[in-house]
């Protein structure tokens, strides 16, 4: 068997779990600016739908606002579930966090449905004690 890369200790793991719970709650609540503030100033987010990453908090805020407006117009709420999380410390002090993310769509009046599943690979760094995303790459299983 291959030797596994060491994983983050329990306190860091719990901190990262809290980080995602709050970050996704901000996103799903339409708190676009708060959500963008969980990235570094020049943080990059490469979603599967775009050829290039969205970079920097103003662009991230704008993207989240547009997504929230689209959902509001459609009368839907999205809920992101992060699961199957691994957190691996790198030599430079950053953390690589890999997870599965399920998005559940809830139309007003129901029923809820599984919208899509994606793989999220983040590089997290700590600034002034807070974890922030420096780089996020999201991929989907249903797209080439």
Single residue of 67, 116, 137, 138 touching a second copy by CB under 8 A? 116
114 binds a second copy (CB under 8 A): yes
51 binds a second copy (CB under 8 A): no
42 binds a second copy (CB under 8 A): no
- For residue 111, what are its two tokens? 């029923």
Point out which span in 7-15, 45-53, 60-68 binds a second copy (CB under 8 A): 7-15
70 binds a second copy (CB under 8 A): no
126 binds a second copy (CB under 8 A): no
> Footprint of a second copy on this chain (CB under 8 A)?
1-2, 4, 7-11, 13-15, 17-18, 20-22, 24-25, 34, 37-38, 77, 79-87, 98-100, 102, 104, 106-117, 130, 140-142, 144
């Amino acid at each position: 068997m291959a030797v596994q890369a060491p994983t983050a200790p329990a306190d860091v793991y719990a901190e990262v779990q809290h980080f995602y719970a709050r970050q996704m709650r901000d996103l799903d609540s339409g708190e676009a600016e708060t959500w963008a503030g969980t990235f570094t100033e020049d943080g990059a987010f490469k979603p599967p739908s775009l050829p290039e990453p969205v970079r920097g908090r103003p662009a991230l805020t704008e993207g989240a606002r547009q997504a929230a407006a689209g959902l509001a117009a459609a009368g839907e709420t999205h809920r992101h579930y992060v699961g199957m999380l691994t957190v691996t410390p790198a030599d430079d002090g950053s953390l690589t966090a890999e997870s599965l993310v399920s998005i559940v769509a809830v139309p007003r009046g129901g029923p809820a449905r599984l919208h899509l599943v994606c793989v999220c690979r983040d590089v997290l760094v700590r600034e002034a004690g807070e974890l922030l995303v420096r780089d996020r790459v999201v991929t989907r299983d249903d797209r080439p």
